[in-house]
Amino acid sequence: MSHFRIGHGYDLHRLEPQAPVGQGRPLILAGVRLAHDRGPIAHSDGDALYHAVTDAILGALALPDIGQLFPDTDPRHESQDSEVFLRAAADRAAALGWHVENLDATVILERPKLSPHKDAMRANLARVLAISDDRVNVKGKTHERVDAVGEGRAVEVHAVVLLRRG
């Protein structure tokens, strides 16, 4: 029996201008609200970082993905704080005897810069996953103005988790 499992999660949300600025859904990543003139198109709060980590955990356990467990057709999830999804995935893992050993995530976003927010994102992820923040990494990358992400019309996130039994 294996004592470790690896899961990969991915999410992408289109970003649309908020007109007037400040109206509409704010850009939130790992529970941190970022000042931006664009917001995600999403049924929930559109937190692509929490979504990708949720899918990474569920994937490591060969469980249904976030869209199956929390469908966008369910009105209960309208504007839902995505921490609820991540906590549910972590709770499912714990109930099956698995815990997050570490998390590595890459956020691909042309702007705003993530550097000023990474510590808060790491702290939020660590809190929800009940691990120390030295086991959580968040990296920011751009697409060098190539494609929808590079043109600022989308945010993309990849996340990898290592789960440990016991």
Render each residue's pLDDT in the chain as its tens digit; 166 residues.
Answer: 789 999 999 999 999 997 665 567 899 999 999 999 999 999 999 999 999 999 999 999 999 999 999 998 998 888 899 999 999 999 999 999 999 999 999 999 999 999 999 999 999 999 999 999 999 999 999 999 999 999 999 999 999 999 999 8
The domains found in the chain, sorted by start residue, are 4-165 (3.30.1330.50)
Residues 159 and 82 sit within 8 Å (Cβ to Cβ): no
The string of DSSP letters for 112-140 reads S-SGGGHHHHHHHHHHHHTS-GGGEEEEE
For residue 99, give both structure tokens: 């815990």
Nearest in space to 129 (alpha carbons), one of 41, 62, 56: 56
Residues 38 and 127 sit within 8 Å (Cβ to Cβ): no
Query: What does the chain come to in residues?
Result: 166
The letter for the amino acid at 90 is: A
Residues 134 and 140 sit within 8 Å (Cβ to Cβ): no
